[in-house]
Amino acid sequence: MRAQVYDLGKPQLFGPEVNITIVVQRNNNPPFFINDPYTRTIAENQAVGTLVYDTSASDLDILAPFNTLTYAIIGDDSAPTYFSINSTTGDVFLTNSVQLDTQSQYQLRLLVSDGGIPSRMDSAILTVSVTRNLFSPVINPLNYEATIFEDTFIGEEIVRVLATDQDVRSPHNDIRYEAVGTNSGNTLTYFGIGSTDGSVFVRRSLTTDNNQQNEFTMFVRAFDLGVPQRSSANQATVRILVLRNRNCPVFANLPTNITISQSQNTQTRIFNVSATDLDAAGRFSTLTYSLVGDDNAAVLFNIDPNNGFIFISNTGLISDRSSVYKESCTCLQLRVRASDGGYSPCTRDSVLTVNVLRNELAPVFQPSSIYRVTILETLSTAESIFTVTARDNDLQPWVMVRVRVKVMLNCLSDGGNPRLSDTTVVIVYVNRNLFPPVFSPQQYSATILDTQAIGVPIAELSLNQPAGKHLHHCGEKQLCTSFPEHAIPNQHTGKPPCSSVRLQDFCC
């Protein structure tokens, strides 16, 4: 380009022409981001002001301002709320905490522009992922042990594995449990674990285990539902001991028999049943007792289920012979059952024979002193000479009394079982006719009128008693005459009067 200078005078004057060269600086190249798109992951508890990413851009222009770059964030959504960019360096910073937000990812749309007018520009995407699942579950404690019975119900909780997660919100602190292994092949056949609560439970009845295994071990891991999912660093070990009901009760003091009084008071202990069970301490070796028969024994007696004491529950029925009388035996058979604590208990029965003592009182002679009686030697066989009396305070039939004579002893017994008796002494004196009577004097005479009335005494006879002897029941003196039609007949024999006077006695 050529240029000439001139003035405005008259005449107008012109200077010399000069050549002018104009060089135009052009914004030929737009800026561009290097190595985009960008990604970065941060923790949700990242501190405000933390450098998130240092973006980089370039411009091929060599002159400013066309190669002077400026950075900005233009989107997306809520990203500009939490992030900012240094307009000069392109460094992206966290300006607000994302901990209270729920988004797990932010898309930052970045813009770089040069200093041209109009400026040239480029955009890029920085994806910031927020790790909100910061912590793995922690199992504490790591070792668990439980002892159960083989008849534990299906579904019953045995033990609970505990794990915690320090994350503050779901699903990152939602914990799940999983059985990941065993040291025995069939542990997971019989046991399972609740996925949400960590409860170990019986999956299948242990009574179906033909191997009768006593110990099972399960390994458990815990994991959360966060993104990314985290698992516990260590596994829990659950050891389960199974108590088997291998033994049944054994009675120590049955069968046996005892004897009680029919007047025994109610609630009085009459026997203590004892039994043992060789299973390990626990429900399977804890015994309970019951009466299961026979007949009406369970009505008359009770048994303490815990300690085996048997006691009378109804004295009135005990004293009623008909309630226990069986054939000739006054006894009851108490069928006692011992049961262990299994849900399907193992039981054993045995019999306690209770003999009821109904004949408690022996018969007693009344009076109880020695009996003395005197008899004539002419007493007829089987003729009663004396009557003894006795009493028995038992009730029928035990008061039936029998008397037996042995030598000089009277034996008294009742009709009870066992039979009770009493004895007394009866002394019998026998009067014997050892000496004849003697008239004194030997001769008598009397004069009577022929009109003498019958029955009027005509003479009085007297007898001499032998020294040291006493004539008993000998007092009838009969007069015999030579005039039979006028004499008094013998009052005892009924014989006609004799022709001479004689004296007869009738002593034993």
Task: Please indicate, yes or no, whether residues 427 and 439 belong to a single structural domain of this protein.
Answer: no
Q: Is residue 9 one of the residues assigned to a domain? A: no
Residues 6+ positions from 33 with CB-CB distance below 8 Å: 55, 56, 57, 110, 112, 122, 123, 124
Least confident of 177-191, 225-239, 352-366, 463-477: 463-477
The last residue of a domain, from among 384, 415, 431? 431
Task: Please indicate, yes or no, whether residues 218 and 282 belong to a single structural domain of this protein.
Answer: no
Q: What is the model's pLDDT at position 404?
A: 56
Q: Is residue 98 one of the residues assigned to a domain? A: yes
C-alpha dist (Å) from residue 129 to 35, 45, 135, 363: 18, 13, 16, 111
Helices (H), 209-306: 297-300
Q: CATH code at 172? A: 2.60.40.60
Separation CA 487–CA 261 (nearest Å): 75
> What's the mean pLDDT when you consider all of the chain?
84
Task: Please indicate, yes or no, whether residues 106 and 51 belong to a single structural domain of this protein.
Answer: yes
Res 83 pLDDT > 80: yes
With 0-12 / 13-18 / 19 or more C-beta atoms within 10 angstroms meaning exposed / middle / buried, residue 357 is middle
Nearest alpha carbon to residue 379 among 435, 431, 434, 436 = 431
Pairing mode of beta strands 250-251, 157-160: unpaired
Sign of dihedral through CA atoms 388, 391, 395, 398? Answer: negative
Q: What is the model's pLDDT at position 400?
A: 55
Task: Please indicate, yes or no, whether residues 419 and 375 belong to a single structural domain of this protein.
Answer: yes
Nearest alpha carbon to residue 93 among 76, 78, 112, 108 = 108
Separation CA 438–CA 483 (nearest Å): 24
Separation CA 53–CA 463 (nearest Å): 170
Phi-psi region of 382 (alpha: psi -120 to 50; beta: other; left: phi over 0): left
Q: Is residue 12 one of the residues assigned to a domain? A: no
Task: Please indicate, yes or no, whether residues 146 and 231 belong to a single structural domain of this protein.
Answer: yes
Q: Is residue 300 one of the residues assigned to a domain? A: yes
Separation CA 83–CA 98 (nearest Å): 10
- DSSP assignment letter at 480: -
The last residue of a domain, from among 97, 131, 165? 131
Nearest alpha carbon to residue 503 among 483, 477, 469 = 477
Give the domain extent around 426: 364-431
Q: Is residue 374 one of the residues assigned to a domain? A: yes
Q: What are the pLDDT digits (tens) for 92-140? A: 999 999 998 989 899 999 999 999 999 999 999 999 999 999 999 999 9
Q: What is the model's pLDDT at position 487?
A: 47
Q: What is the model's pLDDT at position 484?
A: 46
Token pair, residue 356, equals 């009821």
Domain count, the chain: 5
- State percent of the chain over pLDDT 90: 52
Q: What is the model's pLDDT at position 446?
A: 82
Task: Please indicate, yes or no, whether residues 404 and 421 belong to a single structural domain of this protein.
Answer: yes
Q: What are the pLDDT digits (tens) for 228-253? A: 899 999 999 999 999 999 999 999 99
Task: Please indicate, yes or no, whether residues 101 and 197 belong to a single structural domain of this protein.
Answer: no
pLDDT band for position 307 (50/70/90)? Answer: very high
With 0-12 / 13-18 / 19 or more C-beta atoms within 10 angstroms meaning exposed / middle / buried, residue 412 is buried
Task: Please indicate, yes or no, whether residues 376 and 459 belong to a single structural domain of this protein.
Answer: no
Task: Please indicate, yes or no, whether residues 265 and 309 belong to a single structural domain of this protein.
Answer: yes
Q: Is residue 95 one of the residues assigned to a domain? A: yes
Cis peptide upstream of residue 457 (ω within 30 degrees of 0): no
Res 418 pLDDT > 90: no
Q: Is residue 352 within 8 Å of residue 293, measured between CB atoms? A: no
pLDDT band for position 279 (50/70/90)? Answer: very high
Q: Is residue 14 one of the residues assigned to a domain? A: no
Res 472 pLDDT > 70: no
What is the rounded average pLDDT of the residues 416-427? 76
Q: What is the model's pLDDT at position 92?
A: 98
Sign of dihedral through CA atoms 245, 247, 248, 253? Answer: negative
- Matching residue, tokens 């008909």: 322
Least confident of 198-207, 254-263, 290-299, 403-412: 403-412
Q: Is residue 474 within 8 Å of residue 466, measured between CB atoms? A: no
Half-sphere exposure of 13 (CA within 13 A, CB side): 2
C-alpha dist (Å) from residue 394 to 265, 314, 368, 407, 415: 18, 20, 18, 28, 10
Task: Please indicate, yes or no, whether residues 49 and 105 belong to a single structural domain of this protein.
Answer: yes
Q: What is the model's pLDDT at position 361?
A: 78
Nearest alpha carbon to residue 234 among 137, 128, 323 = 137
Q: Which amino acid is at 124?
A: A
Q: What are the pLDDT digits (tens) for 490-503? A: 554 444 444 344 44
The last residue of a domain, from among 397, 431, 465? 431
Task: Please indicate, yes or no, whether residues 368 and 462 belong to a single structural domain of this protein.
Answer: no
What is the 3 state secondary structure string of 338-363?
A: EECCCCCCCEEEEEEEEEEECCCCCC
Q: What is the model's pLDDT at position 371?
A: 80
Task: Please indicate, yes or no, whether residues 81 and 144 belong to a single structural domain of this protein.
Answer: no
Separation CA 448–CA 431 (nearest Å): 39
Q: Is residue 457 one of the residues assigned to a domain? A: yes
Q: What is the model's pLDDT at position 328?
A: 42
